[in-house]
Structure 1
């Protein structure tokens, strides 16, 4: 039995509103009995005997059936979330900047996003792993930051999802607790 973190793309921010209780119910209905949601931005920890790719397929199928939208998720093994948090060179609690981690199941899209970000003057970013890119944005200006505007382009938006580092730490801790039983 493996422990996984499931990150839903684009819910409760852009017209697709899902209550976390309904999300848990939908996942439990498709066999993820211990699914637990964190915050209201589509973060789930669960355990399964399936591998990560199969968890992704089952979650997306369940979400499409339950909520009628083109669901897309990134699934990471619990240990992988811990690795990304530890690998992030940026602080999780800074007065002037916020640290973010953008993750994707499509590394080619993340390669392209990384290249686009590298061309921005003064932009701080670091590739953490094939599936993850860490970056900084000014407090209060995340959505207006040049990198955020690039990452919002359709070709990136459809294949990536972003969480702040504080959220990733909470997901890591919840996934560890689930794995510990």
Structure 2
């Protein structure tokens, strides 16, 4: 049985509104009996005997059937979430910046986003963490106005990525790791 983190894209930020209790119950009804939600931004931890690709397909189908929208999620094993958090070179808590990790299950889109961000020059800081993740910094209080945030909001990238701040990723890591240990 593997422990996974499921990151939903585009809910509760304008457009698709799903209460976390409803999300949790829908996933439980689709066979993910230990699904737990974290925060209100579409973060779930659960266990499954299937691989990440199968969990992704099943979660997306469950969301489509339960909430009537074209769902898209990133599913990562708990140990991969832990690795991404540790590999992030930016601070968890800093008064002048906020650290983010953008996730995608489409490495090609993340490659393009990485290149677009790199073209911003020396003032922008980002680091590719693997085929599914890109870490970046934004000024405190100015995330949405940052040049990288404006690039990542373009339809091409927005449709295939989801972003979490590092503090959220740490909470998801801790919950997914705890779920994995409980299953041992």
Smaller-chain TM-score bracket: over 0.9
Q: Deviations over 1:28-84 (max 9, x none)?
A: 011000000000000000000011000000000000011111100000000000000
Q: How does 1:145-156 map to 2 (within 5 A)?
A: 145-156=146-157
Between the aligned partners of 1:81 and 1:137, the Cα distance in structure 2 is: 21
Measure the CA separation in 1 of the matches of 2:50 and 2:23: 19
Matched residue, 2:167: 166
Distance in 2 (CA, whole Å) between partners of 1:29 and 1:158 is 27
Q: Which residue of 2 aligns with 1:178?
A: 179
| Residue in 1 that maps onto 2:93 | 93
Please report the RMSD computed on the Cα atoms of aligned residues, expressed in angstroms: 0.4
Q: Matches of 1:52 and 1:108 in 2, distance apart?
A: 19
Please report the TM-score for the alignment, with normalisation by the length of structure 1.
0.99
Q: TM-score, normalised by structure 2?
A: 0.98
**2:80 maps to what in 1?**
80
Gapped regions of structure 2 (runs ≥ 5): none
1:130 aligns with 2:128: no
Determine the C-alpha separation between the residues in 2 that align with 1:57 and 1:128.
24
- Aligned residue pairs, count: 181
Name the structure 2 match of 1:143: 144
Distance in 2, Cα, partners of 1:17 & 1:56: 20
Equivalent residue number for residue 14 of structure 2: 14
Looking at structure 1, the residues matched to 181 and 112 of structure 2 have their Cα atoms a distance apart, in angstroms, of 37
Question: 1:119 deviation in Å?
Answer: 0.5
The secondary structure found in structure 1 opposite 2:174 is helix
Return structure 1 stretches of 4+ with deviation > 3 angstroms.
none
